Amino acid sequence: MTELAQAVVNGLQMGLLYALVAVGLAIIWGLMEMVNFAHGEFMMLGMFGAWWLSSTLGWDPLVAMLPVALAIYGLGVLTYSQLMRRVQRGDAFAQIFATVGLLLFLQNGVVALFTSDYRFVSDTVLSRLSGVQLSILGIKLGVPLLMAGLLALALFVALYLLVDRTEFGLALQATSEDRDAAMLVGIRPQKMFAVAWGLGAALVGIAGVILANFFSVYPQVGLSFTVLAYAIVALGGFGSILGTLCAALLVGVVQSVTVVYLPPAFKDAFVFGSYLLIGLFRPQGLFGRF
Amino acid sequence: MRGIRILVPVLAAIMVVGGFALERAEPQAPKEVLIGVLLPLTGNFASLGQQYLWSNQTVEDIVNNDYPDLNVPLGPGKGFPGLGGATMKLVVRDDQSRGDLARTLVEQLVTVNKVHWIDGEGTSGNTSIIQPVVEGYGIPLSCHPCASPTLTEKGFKWFFRTGPHDRVMVDSVFRFLQEWPKNGGPTDLKTVAVFTCDNLFCQDNHKIALEHAAKAGFKVVADLTTKTGATTLASEVQRLQAANPDILFFVQYPAETAVFQADAKRAGWTPKVLATSNGAYSDQTWLEAQKKTNGGAAWLGRDPTAIDLASKKPSWKKVNEIYKKYSRGQDMGELAMRQITGMLWVADTINRAKSLEPAVLAKAAADTNMSPDQMIIDYKGIRFDKSNQNELATGVVTQIGWDGEKHTIWPWELAKQAGYTPVYPSPSWQERDAKPKPAR
Amino acid sequence: MAASRRIALGVGLLAALVYPLLIQATGYTYFQTVGFLVFIYAMLGVGWNFIGGWAGQFDFGPCIFLATGAYTAALASVHWGWSPWLGMVAAIVVSMAICAVITFPVTRLRGHYFAIATVAMWMIAQPIGATWELINGSRGLFIPLTPAKSSLEAIWTLGWGGRSKALAYYYVALLLFVLTMYLAHRVDRSKLGYYFRAIRDDQEGAEAIGIDSRVYKTAARCLTAAVFAAGGVLYGFWALAVFPDQVLEMNWSVLPMISTVLGGIGRLWGPLLGAVILIPISQVMSATLGAGPLAGRGLDVIVYGIIIMAVAAFRPSGLLSLPWARWFRRG
């Protein structure tokens, strides 16, 4: 029984990390409905930012979060204003086309600058705590993961409040629902999209900085996390920030619990299988608005 | 039908531009020996591909420049003496870790660039894709670090491999484990768990490991295959912990290995013996990173060379200095050593052949009998069996010590020379954290 | 068909037929292989157009059917010695059947949800491919290489060897491409094509006039599956091996898609135009920027990415939407 409970707890902890990666996508794709194949690359850039600041200036990732977030915010806005804004004139598929190009450009740009070696950010505040463990009722909880999870939770709550409770957030939602109507009430959609891209990119950049504490840093690292992030946003439902969080936790738990009893090679297959199963009964995801 | 009206001129334009852009070789009296190098320089296997590229560039440097004191083939003197001083030229292509690109680029190298020899692709999967092509065109192909046994089991006449393959390498690990009790090791190792990733390389190892475990009399208590690119291995660790194996046979790439270590640490679990086969254990960056945490201490695995003994050779040191010029300061790891040795063999073969005719090259290759003293790696020599596999590439078993370096622990004669006692059992995570780390 | 169109079509076909013969004279068979790849990707692009361009659904999963096609024909060859042509028929039937069964339930999902469902199918297919013993899992299924003894036998077994292989496969790819274009052309003008486009433009409206969107979405996808299965068989016999991580690669879904978008989505000739541009460019890039002293820096792919972004930014409706007619009339 404790085995199952431990697996559930492990799953929740990983789920919070996944939520961290998915939260940026929840804005760009979940809310503004723009496809971004390069989402994982923004995360990867966040990881490289953390590594670079750590290895050249000795900054801890917790400190690096702010400058990296600002830099990637800028990158997100730039991506929208120079690329995606123009692509919006065309078909929705053109967004896939454009962001595939962006993916190739960013990933291999990093390869050109840093080579494809695996790098590790070591000796960080969080990793120094890595031996510390809480043991509640026989279930182990690693403190560093717990702290990362709490940070993810905090970001989520902040984002939820921003999108659902502020005027700015309402303007974002309005733009995504009906661009022309939004213009009529004085909202400038281009500005909204640019900020959404900046915010989404910055959030996943922060996710990268935090993940750099736990995972190796290399140019191709984006893929494994982003495929899950896409599933999570869709599972949670488009337009719902809290839906993304719930979906992330669900995904983490499904991944963790199924592998205790079933072949591990099918780990992600079970997650996506659950997506299909849930989709049969709720085609708009758990809490989707549209 | 504007489509058609555009297509013809566009296609023509691209073909013309492409034709001019591609290099065309015109070797008269061979002034240049063209070696086609096909590698995954971007994409999933880029970290491997780049090491092989640096290795090849090192050999090009050694062959074309005069290193009078360097005791490796074609070290002293410039160029190929057997070909009147012709220089070696690498023709490099990046296949982005994709099989379809590999397939077309190798055809480009053979039919357009007219290379004399192809070395690549570096990964067993893509090398199997290009084997039939090169075989069809009848020029020599070699891959030295490719470890899949199937590459030399399909009867290709033009494919040569100087490095050992997985059947040999996994065999070494299990022979060590079997012989250990009679050579000062523990006598109560009975159970083994197999933990491998799901791609070609790992699955080859997996199959061979299960065969050997059965023959050696170990009981397999867990057999888990994980998906590459896993973001968490916590549940897998949980299952392994529950199965409680004495020995964990572990085959994963560096990224997943790092995830495993973190999850095992959280679960507070280490098996008594952790045996690996290639993967992270061969990756120089992973090894360097372990020095900061003692994370690799007591890990043992097979190595094509007794690196602690080989690195004492002056030729090893000299070649390493040249290698570091291309690798931005990274030392040669065992992958680079295999590739450099293999490429030097290619150069030596071309030199002995005194010709660039494919049939003559193939004969010179098959006739190889290179002695170990000219090598920077610890093979017993280079001599090919009927399947063009180097039968003298055996390899050793090494273990990472508390100093973060690998030490030879098998065969027993070499282990005595290395003078190192294996660490047993594998230390707990607290012990790893507590003991001093080799690097900061 | 207007006379000018017929002439244009004829000229194009003639050029395509003669091109490799010219190459054969020079001995640079590599260029024939580039042509082979162009036609495979163009064919897959046309196949993708059924579900993507005409039915308007985001589909990232057609690579699954490439895999089912390749494996079916490969297994038939390895275990029963079937010719690849027979294998292709089997591959198409098997793939369409699988497609129908797995697609119909998810047609409940709309837009991006459907897209993720197709990704889900791919993610589920991957570990199956990697661990299923019948197809030898990750270790791959090898198709035994036996060079044919006569030209006629070679055409039946696709067993050309050595220097004539590239030429022969080019023509086979061209043939399959022409067949696929013919299929697309017929569907485009038929009621089926009309229904597909109706669903894309206004699903509720289509349903209101009695078009069952679920059935027709599935039908579109099954047409895509058939084309991908055929392509998979051709690829498998060309490569003489089927590996799960090679055929179940996302590239097989994405490259045809971006070729089609580049050329012009939903347009008949879009995929060919896109493939003709993208494939040679990536080959040339690799040969120039990915080679020599600049090798290993990924410069070839960086430039490739920049080109893609530039086209997307300045011509998001694809190249066929450029006012070619005006330009040619002026010139």
pLDDT for C155 beyond 90:
no
How many C-beta atoms surround the C-beta of residue B114 within 10 A? 18
Q: Could you give all domains of chain B from N- to C-terminal order, each with its CATH number?
A: 32-164+310-374 (3.40.50.2300), 167-303+401-434 (3.40.50.2300)
Are A234 and C112 a contacting pair, CB within 8 Å?
yes
pLDDT for B28 beyond 50:
no
Instruction: Compute the average pLDDT of residues B277-305.
Output: 85
Give the tens place of pLDDT for each residue, A220-265. Answer: 898 888 889 999 999 998 888 889 999 999 999 999 999 999 999 9
- The secondary element (H helix, E strand) that includes residue A23 is helix A2-25
**pLDDT for the residue A233:** 92
Nearest to B2 among C37, C249, C324 (CB): C324
CB pairs below 8 Å between A and C: how many? 156
Cα separation, B22 vs C285, in Å, equals 10
A225 contacts B231? CB cut-off 8 A: yes
- Amino acid residing at A50: A
Rg (CA), chain B: 23
DSSP labels, B96-137: TT-HHHHHHHHHHHHHTS--SEEEE-SSHHHHHHHHHHHHHH
Cα separation, C39 vs A89, in Å, equals 29
Instruction: Provide the domain limits for residue A111.
Output: 2-281
Are B130 and B148 a contacting pair, CB within 8 Å?
no
pLDDT for C16 beyond 80:
yes
A285 contacts C305? CB cut-off 8 A: no
DSSP secondary structure letter of residue B218: -
The three-class DSSP label of residue B143 is coil
**In chain C, domain spans:** 16-250
**pLDDT for the residue C311:** 84
Chain A hits for B49, CB-CB cut-off 8 Å, are 116
A221 contacts B255? CB cut-off 8 A: yes
A39-52 and A92-114 helices cross at what angle (nearest 10)? Answer: 20
Query: Is the residue at A290 inside a domain?
Result: no
**pLDDT for the residue B7:** 56
Name the residue of chain A whose CA is nearest to B328's CA. Answer: A115
Cα separation, A229 vs C199, in Å, equals 29
Strands B141-142 and B159-160, by their bridges, are parallel
- Amino acid residing at A288: G
Q: Chain B: nearest CA to A283, how far in angstroms?
A: 27
**Residue B215 burial (C-beta neighbours within 10 Å; 0-12, 13-18, 19+):** exposed
Query: Is the residue at A289 inside a domain?
Result: no
Query: Is the residue at A167 inside a domain?
Result: yes
Give the tens place of pLDDT for each residue, C181-212. Answer: 999 999 988 988 888 888 888 888 888 888 88
Name the residue of chain C whose CA is nearest to A29's CA. Answer: C112
pLDDT for C328 beyond 70:
no
Q: Chain B: nearest CA to C199, how far in angstroms?
A: 26
**pLDDT for the residue C69:** 95
Nearest to B198 among C127, C166, C320 (CB): C127
Query: Over chain C, what is the mean pLDDT?
Result: 86
Q: Which residue has the higher pLDDT, A27 or C26?
A: A27
How big is chain B, counted in residues? Answer: 440
Instruction: Compute the average pLDDT of residues C46-58.
Output: 88
Q: Name the one residue in this structure whose structure tokens are 């060379």.
A: B305
Give the tens place of pLDDT for each residue, C66-111. Answer: 999 999 999 999 999 888 899 999 999 999 999 999 999 999 888 8
Degrees, nearest 5: CA angle C126-A244-A6? 70
Cα separation, C279 vs C289, in Å, equals 15
pLDDT for B409 beyond 80:
yes
pLDDT for C331 beyond 60:
no
Provide the pLDDT confidence category of residue B5 given band limits of 50, 70 and 90: low
The three-class DSSP label of residue C13 is helix
Domain count for chain A, please give it.
1
Are B207 and B230 a contacting pair, CB within 8 Å?
no
Query: Is the residue at A56 inside a domain?
Result: yes
**pLDDT for the residue C119:** 92
Give the tens place of pLDDT for each residue, B127-162. Answer: 988 998 898 889 999 999 998 888 998 889 999 999
Q: Is the ipTM of this complex over 0.90?
A: no
Least confident of B241-245, B436-440, C276-280, C290-294: C290-294
Mention every residue, 6+ apart, whose C-beta is less than 8 A from residue B318: B67, B69, B70
Interface check for C4 against chain B (CB to CB < 8 A): the answer is yes
CATH code at position A43 = 1.10.3470
Cα separation, C258 vs B83, in Å, equals 48
Cα separation, B362 vs B426, in Å, equals 47
Cα separation, C70 vs C237, in Å, equals 8
Instruction: Compute the average pLDDT of residues C258-266.
Output: 85
Q: Name the one residue in this structure whose structure tokens are 């209101």.
A: C208
Cα separation, C200 vs C211, in Å, equals 12
Are A24 and A200 a contacting pair, CB within 8 Å?
yes
Provide the pLDDT confidence category of residue C38 given band limits of 50, 70 and 90: very high
Global confidence as pTM: 0.89
Degrees, nearest 5: CA angle A287-A233-A71? 130
**Residue A174 burial (C-beta neighbours within 10 Å; 0-12, 13-18, 19+):** middle
Provide the pLDDT confidence category of residue C160 given band limits of 50, 70 and 90: confident
The alpha carbon of residue C98 and the mean position of all alpha carbons in its chain are separated, in whole angstroms, by 18
Cα separation, A239 vs B317, in Å, equals 61
Q: Which chains touch B (3 or more CB pairs under 8 A)?
A: A, C
Estimate the share of chain A in helix, then strand, then coil, as percent rounded to the nearest 5: 80, 5, 20
Query: Over chain A, what is the mean pLDDT?
Result: 88
Residue C122: phi, psi to the nearest 5?
Answer: -65, -45
pLDDT for B329 beyond 70:
yes
**pLDDT for the residue A285:** 83
How big is chain C, counted in residues? Answer: 331
Query: Is the residue at A288 inside a domain?
Result: no
Q: How far is CA C295 from CA B41, B335, B338, C251, C291, in A?
A: 8, 19, 21, 22, 5
Chain C hits for B41, CB-CB cut-off 8 Å, are 290, 295-298
B258 contacts A118? CB cut-off 8 A: yes
Cα separation, B93 vs C275, in Å, equals 21
Mention every residue, 6+ apart, whose C-beta is less than 8 A from residue B42: A107, A108, A111, A116, B49, B94, B96, B97, C290, C298, C300, C301
Instruction: Compute the average pLDDT of residues B240-248.
Output: 94
Are C286 and B20 a contacting pair, CB within 8 Å?
no
Instruction: Compute the average pLDDT of residues C17-39.
Output: 85
Q: What percent of chain A has pLDDT over 70?
A: 99
Strands B273-276 and B191-197, by their bridges, are unpaired
**pLDDT for the residue C326:** 57
Query: Over chain B, what is the mean pLDDT?
Result: 87
Q: Chain B: nearest CA to A122, how far in angstroms?
A: 8
Query: Is the residue at A287 inside a domain?
Result: no
Are B146 and B304 a contacting pair, CB within 8 Å?
no
Name the residue of chain A whose CA is nearest to B47's CA. Answer: A116
Alpha carbon distance, N-terminus to C-terminus of chain B: 67
Instruction: Compute the average pLDDT of residues B411-421.
Output: 87
CA-closest candidate to residue B275, choices B241, B306, B300: B300
Best of C1, C31, C299 to disrupt the B interface (most B CBs within 10 Å) is C31
DSSP secondary structure letter of residue B158: S
Cα separation, A18 vs A215, in Å, equals 13
Q: Chain A: nearest CA to B141, how far in angstroms?
A: 26
B112 contacts C30? CB cut-off 8 A: yes
**pLDDT for the residue B9:** 58
The three-class DSSP label of residue B90 is strand
C302 contacts A104? CB cut-off 8 A: yes
Cα separation, C265 vs B163, in Å, equals 49
**pLDDT for the residue C330:** 45
Query: Is the residue at A14 inside a domain?
Result: yes
Provide the pLDDT confidence category of residue A277 given band limits of 50, 70 and 90: very high
Chain A hits for C112, CB-CB cut-off 8 Å, are 29, 33, 35, 234, 238
Chain C hits for A117, CB-CB cut-off 8 Å, are none
**pLDDT for the residue B272:** 93
Provide the pLDDT confidence category of residue B25 given band limits of 50, 70 and 90: very low
Q: Which residue has the higher pLDDT, A123 or A105?
A: A105
